[in-house]
Structure 1
Protein backbone atom coordinates (compact mmCIF):
# COMPACT_ATOMS: atom_id res chain seq x y z
CA UNK A 1 0.00 0.00 0.00
CA UNK A 2 1.27 3.46 -0.81
CA UNK A 3 1.38 6.24 1.74
CA UNK A 4 -1.51 8.66 1.76
CA UNK A 5 -2.69 11.76 3.50
CA UNK A 6 -6.36 12.24 4.29
CA UNK A 7 -8.64 14.04 6.75
CA UNK A 8 -9.53 12.31 10.03
CA UNK A 9 -12.50 13.94 11.74
CA UNK A 10 -13.48 13.52 15.40
CA UNK A 11 -17.13 13.58 16.38
CA UNK A 12 -19.03 13.70 19.65
CA UNK A 13 -21.29 10.67 19.42
CA UNK A 14 -22.62 11.15 15.87
CA UNK A 15 -19.72 9.74 13.82
CA UNK A 16 -21.88 6.97 12.33
CA UNK A 17 -24.52 9.42 11.10
CA UNK A 18 -21.87 11.82 9.77
CA UNK A 19 -19.91 9.14 7.92
CA UNK A 20 -23.12 7.73 6.41
CA UNK A 21 -23.97 11.27 5.27
CA UNK A 22 -20.56 11.63 3.61
CA UNK A 23 -21.11 8.27 1.90
CA UNK A 24 -24.40 9.66 0.51
CA UNK A 25 -22.51 12.71 -0.75
CA UNK A 26 -19.44 11.01 -2.26
CA UNK A 27 -20.51 7.39 -2.75
CA UNK A 28 -17.99 4.64 -2.17
CA UNK A 29 -17.50 1.98 0.45
CA UNK A 30 -17.83 2.73 4.15
CA UNK A 31 -16.25 0.53 6.81
CA UNK A 32 -17.51 1.28 10.33
CA UNK A 33 -16.20 -0.33 13.52
CA UNK A 34 -17.75 0.22 16.91
CA UNK A 35 -15.82 -0.11 20.17
CA UNK A 36 -17.76 -3.31 20.81
CA UNK A 37 -16.72 -4.83 17.46
CA UNK A 38 -13.08 -5.13 18.51
CA UNK A 39 -13.89 -7.81 21.08
CA UNK A 40 -12.53 -5.96 24.09
CA UNK A 41 -14.91 -4.70 26.70
CA UNK A 42 -16.00 -1.24 25.62
CA UNK A 43 -15.82 1.62 28.11
CA UNK A 44 -19.21 2.41 29.71
CA UNK A 45 -21.46 4.16 27.18
CA UNK A 46 -19.13 3.46 24.23
CA UNK A 47 -20.21 0.01 22.96
CA UNK A 48 -22.10 1.46 19.97
CA UNK A 49 -19.86 4.46 19.41
CA UNK A 50 -17.53 4.52 16.44
CA UNK A 51 -13.91 3.61 17.16
CA UNK A 52 -12.88 3.97 13.51
CA UNK A 53 -14.66 4.58 10.21
CA UNK A 54 -13.18 4.87 6.73
CA UNK A 55 -14.88 5.96 3.52
CA UNK A 56 -13.08 5.20 0.25
CA UNK A 57 -14.59 6.45 -3.01
CA UNK A 58 -14.21 5.66 -6.69
CA UNK A 59 -12.76 9.18 -7.14
CA UNK A 60 -9.85 8.27 -4.87
CA UNK A 61 -11.08 10.17 -1.81
CA UNK A 62 -10.45 8.74 1.64
CA UNK A 63 -12.18 10.22 4.68
CA UNK A 64 -11.73 8.80 8.17
CA UNK A 65 -13.60 9.57 11.34
CA UNK A 66 -14.47 8.39 14.83
CA UNK A 67 -16.26 9.41 17.98
CA UNK A 68 -13.83 11.01 20.43
CA UNK A 69 -12.47 8.28 22.73
CA UNK A 70 -13.15 8.17 26.48
CA UNK A 71 -11.19 10.84 28.32
CA UNK A 72 -10.52 12.87 25.18
CA UNK A 73 -12.13 16.27 25.03
CA UNK A 74 -14.11 16.89 21.83
CA UNK A 75 -13.29 20.42 20.73
CA UNK A 76 -15.07 21.35 17.50
CA UNK A 77 -13.81 24.50 15.93
CA UNK A 78 -12.41 26.13 12.86
CA UNK A 79 -9.02 24.39 12.96
CA UNK A 80 -9.89 21.87 10.24
CA UNK A 81 -11.53 22.11 6.87
CA UNK A 82 -11.72 19.72 3.98
CA UNK A 83 -10.88 20.90 0.48
CA UNK A 84 -12.37 19.43 -2.70
CA UNK A 85 -10.83 20.71 -5.91
CA UNK A 86 -10.54 19.85 -9.55
CA UNK A 87 -11.99 20.66 -12.95
CA UNK A 88 -15.06 18.37 -13.03
CA UNK A 89 -17.65 21.08 -12.43
CA UNK A 90 -20.68 18.78 -12.42
CA UNK A 91 -19.14 16.40 -9.88
CA UNK A 92 -17.91 19.18 -7.58
CA UNK A 93 -21.19 21.15 -7.79
CA UNK A 94 -23.04 17.95 -6.87
CA UNK A 95 -20.89 17.54 -3.77
CA UNK A 96 -21.41 21.22 -2.92
CA UNK A 97 -25.19 20.93 -3.20
CA UNK A 98 -25.31 17.96 -0.82
CA UNK A 99 -22.76 19.29 1.68
CA UNK A 100 -24.34 22.74 1.94
CA UNK A 101 -27.90 21.37 2.23
CA UNK A 102 -28.86 21.85 5.87
CA UNK A 103 -25.56 23.60 6.57
CA UNK A 104 -24.29 27.17 6.46
CA UNK A 105 -22.76 28.78 3.38
CA UNK A 106 -20.03 31.27 4.31
CA UNK A 107 -18.79 31.87 0.73
CA UNK A 108 -21.26 31.19 -2.09
CA UNK A 109 -20.01 28.87 -4.86
CA UNK A 110 -19.18 31.47 -7.53
CA UNK A 111 -16.32 32.88 -9.58
CA UNK A 112 -13.59 34.41 -7.44
CA UNK A 113 -10.86 36.98 -8.12
CA UNK A 114 -8.32 34.25 -8.96
CA UNK A 115 -10.59 33.05 -11.77
CA UNK A 116 -11.88 29.78 -10.32
CA UNK A 117 -15.32 29.01 -8.94
CA UNK A 118 -14.98 28.63 -5.16
CA UNK A 119 -17.29 28.25 -2.20
CA UNK A 120 -17.06 27.43 1.48
CA UNK A 121 -19.73 25.94 3.72
CA UNK A 122 -20.11 24.26 7.07
CA UNK A 123 -22.18 21.08 6.88
CA UNK A 124 -24.83 20.06 9.39
CA UNK A 125 -22.17 18.20 11.44
CA UNK A 126 -20.03 21.34 11.89
CA UNK A 127 -17.32 20.41 9.34
CA UNK A 128 -16.06 23.18 7.03
CA UNK A 129 -15.73 22.29 3.34
CA UNK A 130 -14.01 24.32 0.60
CA UNK A 131 -14.88 23.54 -3.02
CA UNK A 132 -12.72 24.94 -5.84
CA UNK A 133 -13.57 24.33 -9.51
CA UNK A 134 -10.63 25.33 -11.68
CA UNK A 135 -11.01 26.95 -15.09
CA UNK A 136 -14.71 27.78 -14.70
CA UNK A 137 -16.51 30.98 -15.55
CA UNK A 138 -19.51 31.61 -13.31
Structure 2
Protein backbone atom coordinates (compact mmCIF):
# COMPACT_ATOMS: atom_id res chain seq x y z
CA UNK A 1 0.00 0.00 0.00
CA UNK A 2 1.30 3.48 -0.85
CA UNK A 3 1.08 6.66 1.19
CA UNK A 4 0.22 10.14 -0.08
CA UNK A 5 0.80 13.49 1.56
CA UNK A 6 -1.97 15.94 0.57
CA UNK A 7 -2.56 19.58 1.38
CA UNK A 8 -5.86 20.19 3.17
CA UNK A 9 -6.98 23.81 3.34
CA UNK A 10 -9.45 25.29 5.80
CA UNK A 11 -11.78 28.15 4.96
CA UNK A 12 -14.60 30.01 6.66
CA UNK A 13 -17.61 29.78 4.33
CA UNK A 14 -15.66 30.00 1.06
CA UNK A 15 -14.42 26.44 0.46
CA UNK A 16 -16.83 25.88 -2.44
CA UNK A 17 -15.77 29.05 -4.25
CA UNK A 18 -12.08 28.44 -3.53
CA UNK A 19 -12.14 24.88 -4.81
CA UNK A 20 -14.07 25.85 -7.94
CA UNK A 21 -11.45 28.53 -8.49
CA UNK A 22 -8.61 26.00 -8.06
CA UNK A 23 -10.37 23.72 -10.54
CA UNK A 24 -10.36 26.61 -13.05
CA UNK A 25 -6.61 27.05 -12.41
CA UNK A 26 -5.48 23.40 -12.47
CA UNK A 27 -8.30 21.58 -14.28
CA UNK A 28 -9.32 18.14 -13.12
CA UNK A 29 -12.19 16.56 -11.23
CA UNK A 30 -13.73 18.23 -8.20
CA UNK A 31 -15.74 16.43 -5.53
CA UNK A 32 -17.76 18.56 -3.10
CA UNK A 33 -19.61 17.16 -0.09
CA UNK A 34 -21.72 19.27 2.26
CA UNK A 35 -22.31 18.94 5.98
CA UNK A 36 -25.91 17.96 5.13
CA UNK A 37 -24.79 15.04 2.95
CA UNK A 38 -22.80 13.57 5.84
CA UNK A 39 -25.34 14.53 8.53
CA UNK A 40 -22.36 16.20 10.20
CA UNK A 41 -24.04 19.25 11.69
CA UNK A 42 -27.38 20.03 13.25
CA UNK A 43 -26.87 23.76 12.66
CA UNK A 44 -29.17 24.81 9.77
CA UNK A 45 -26.66 27.52 8.81
CA UNK A 46 -24.03 24.87 8.07
CA UNK A 47 -25.97 22.46 5.88
CA UNK A 48 -24.72 23.84 2.55
CA UNK A 49 -21.15 24.43 3.72
CA UNK A 50 -18.43 22.11 2.47
CA UNK A 51 -17.45 19.39 4.91
CA UNK A 52 -14.99 17.79 2.49
CA UNK A 53 -13.80 18.52 -1.01
CA UNK A 54 -11.08 17.04 -3.19
CA UNK A 55 -9.67 18.28 -6.45
CA UNK A 56 -7.72 15.73 -8.47
CA UNK A 57 -5.88 17.85 -11.02
CA UNK A 58 -5.14 17.01 -14.64
CA UNK A 59 -1.53 16.43 -13.48
CA UNK A 60 -2.66 13.92 -10.81
CA UNK A 61 -2.12 16.11 -7.74
CA UNK A 62 -4.72 16.24 -4.99
CA UNK A 63 -5.86 19.33 -3.09
CA UNK A 64 -8.44 19.03 -0.34
CA UNK A 65 -10.42 21.63 1.61
CA UNK A 66 -13.36 22.22 3.92
CA UNK A 67 -15.28 24.99 5.64
CA UNK A 68 -14.49 25.28 9.33
CA UNK A 69 -17.69 24.75 11.37
CA UNK A 70 -19.04 27.79 13.22
CA UNK A 71 -18.25 26.18 16.58
CA UNK A 72 -14.55 25.74 15.78
CA UNK A 73 -11.87 28.40 15.84
CA UNK A 74 -10.72 29.59 12.44
CA UNK A 75 -7.54 31.60 12.27
CA UNK A 76 -6.03 32.15 8.85
CA UNK A 77 -2.28 32.44 9.08
CA UNK A 78 0.94 32.70 7.19
CA UNK A 79 2.72 29.60 8.43
CA UNK A 80 1.82 27.48 5.41
CA UNK A 81 2.41 27.88 1.67
CA UNK A 82 1.71 25.65 -1.29
CA UNK A 83 4.56 25.17 -3.72
CA UNK A 84 4.45 24.30 -7.40
CA UNK A 85 7.72 23.34 -9.04
CA UNK A 86 8.98 21.62 -12.14
CA UNK A 87 10.41 22.21 -15.58
CA UNK A 88 7.21 22.73 -17.61
CA UNK A 89 7.55 26.50 -17.95
CA UNK A 90 4.37 27.03 -19.96
CA UNK A 91 2.22 25.11 -17.50
CA UNK A 92 3.80 26.72 -14.41
CA UNK A 93 3.57 30.25 -15.84
CA UNK A 94 -0.09 29.60 -16.61
CA UNK A 95 -0.69 28.53 -13.02
CA UNK A 96 1.16 31.63 -11.79
CA UNK A 97 -0.92 33.97 -13.93
CA UNK A 98 -4.22 32.49 -12.72
CA UNK A 99 -3.19 32.23 -9.06
CA UNK A 100 -1.81 35.78 -8.87
CA UNK A 101 -4.76 37.30 -10.78
CA UNK A 102 -6.93 38.99 -8.17
CA UNK A 103 -4.38 38.22 -5.46
CA UNK A 104 -1.17 39.83 -4.25
CA UNK A 105 2.27 39.20 -5.73
CA UNK A 106 4.76 39.17 -2.86
CA UNK A 107 7.80 38.16 -4.96
CA UNK A 108 7.58 38.68 -8.74
CA UNK A 109 8.07 35.62 -10.93
CA UNK A 110 11.60 36.22 -12.22
CA UNK A 111 15.09 34.77 -12.40
CA UNK A 112 16.29 33.80 -8.91
CA UNK A 113 19.89 33.73 -7.61
CA UNK A 114 19.89 29.90 -7.74
CA UNK A 115 19.19 29.92 -11.49
CA UNK A 116 15.50 29.03 -11.50
CA UNK A 117 12.56 31.33 -12.10
CA UNK A 118 10.74 31.87 -8.82
CA UNK A 119 7.81 33.87 -7.51
CA UNK A 120 5.46 34.09 -4.54
CA UNK A 121 1.87 35.28 -4.38
CA UNK A 122 -1.19 35.13 -2.17
CA UNK A 123 -4.32 34.19 -4.13
CA UNK A 124 -7.71 35.84 -3.80
CA UNK A 125 -8.67 33.38 -1.04
CA UNK A 126 -5.64 34.24 1.11
CA UNK A 127 -3.65 31.10 0.29
CA UNK A 128 0.11 31.68 -0.20
CA UNK A 129 1.75 30.04 -3.24
CA UNK A 130 5.33 29.61 -4.41
CA UNK A 131 6.14 28.79 -8.03
CA UNK A 132 9.59 27.55 -9.05
CA UNK A 133 10.42 26.87 -12.70
CA UNK A 134 13.64 24.87 -13.08
CA UNK A 135 16.43 26.65 -14.91
CA UNK A 136 18.77 25.14 -17.42
CA UNK A 137 21.26 22.69 -15.88
* TM-score grouping bracket, smaller chain normalisation: over 0.9
Runs of 4+ in 1 over 6 A off after TM superposition: none
The runs of 5 or more residues in structure 1 that have no matched partner are none
Q: Which moved more, 1:3-12 or 1:67-76?
A: 67-76
RMSD (Å) for aligned C-alpha atoms: 1.3
Q: The residue matched to 2:44 in structure 1 has which SS?
A: coil
> What TM-score comes out, normalization by structure 1 length?
0.94
**Residue 43 of structure 1, CA deviation:** 2.3
Any residues of structure 2 matched to 1:68-79 within 5 Å, and which? 68-79=68-79
Query: Residue 53 in 1 paired to residue 53 in 2?
Result: yes
Q: Structure 2 vs 1, CA of residues 117 and 23 (structure 1 numbering), >3 Å: closer, same or farther?
A: same
Aligned residues: 136
> What TM-score comes out, normalization by structure 2 length?
0.94
**Residue 39 of structure 1, CA deviation:** 3.8
**Residue 41 of structure 1, CA deviation:** 5.2
**Residue 40 of structure 1, CA deviation:** 5.2
The runs of 5 or more residues in structure 2 that have no matched partner are none
**Residue 65 of structure 1, CA deviation:** 0.2
2:131 corresponds in structure 1 to 131
2:11 corresponds in structure 1 to 11
